[in-house]
Chains A and B, each alone.
Chain A
Amino acid sequence: ETGVTQTPRHLVMGMTNKKSLKCEQHLGHNAMYWYKQSAKKPLELMFVYSLEERVENNSVPSRFSPECPNSSHLFLHLHTLQPEDSALYLCASSLQGQGSYGYTFGSGTRLTVV
């Protein structure tokens, strides 16, 4: 365990379903991130939350909706996804504003859209 916990580890959902991915960290970090990793492609940054405020949204379709209720929890709400959204979704956290950018990643959620 890295200190960043993602659930579920695997998820299969239909295109009309609504599901949520959860990320939790108790490392005292104050920034959290959602990344998408598709086969043979670099990691893509989707959303950044710093101090619970969304500071970056990299042109992600609205069928992905993030939520950061506090500095320890991050959600990614999914609805009406497409098969091309099948990928590994990784959560990460870091400590910003203290001169340290050490990153910690979760183990990811393997999402399959059918």
Chain B
Amino acid sequence: KNEVEQSPQNLTAQEGEFITINCSYSVGISALHWLQQHPGGGIVSLFMLSSGKKKHGRLIATINIQEKHSSLHITASHPRDSAVYICAGHTGNQFYFGTGTSLTVIP
């Protein structure tokens, strides 16, 4: 069993829908990352958070340390949001990656 579990694994949404991707982890971490990987392979770091909530444009990330759970929300989804979203927990140099959620937003 992976230390970081994401759900769902695959998600298809209509343009404009509100999207939630969930991440649960079973290890102690100092921070949690949400990463976005486009089909070409490049990865972009969206958020790094250790408590509370962060917002950037249409993206919102939350984390509940006690419950070891984080969510990534996308409001007013757009086809360009189509990508794989990866949750990763880290402490020191040790990273624990989820297998990713593949999101497809249909026009």
- Which A residues are closer than 8 A to B by beta carbons? 2, 31, 37, 40-45, 48, 50, 55-56, 88, 90, 92, 101-108, 110
Contacts and interface: CB of A to CB of B under 8 A. Distances in A.
Interface of B: 2, 4, 30-31, 33, 35, 40-45, 48, 86, 88, 90, 93-100
B59 to A, nearest CB: 16
Contact of A107 (B41, B96, B98, B100): B41
Contacts of B100: 42
A105 B42 contact: yes
B43 A90 contact: yes
Contact of A101 (B44, B48, B96): B48
A105 B45 contact: yes
A35 to B, nearest CB: 8
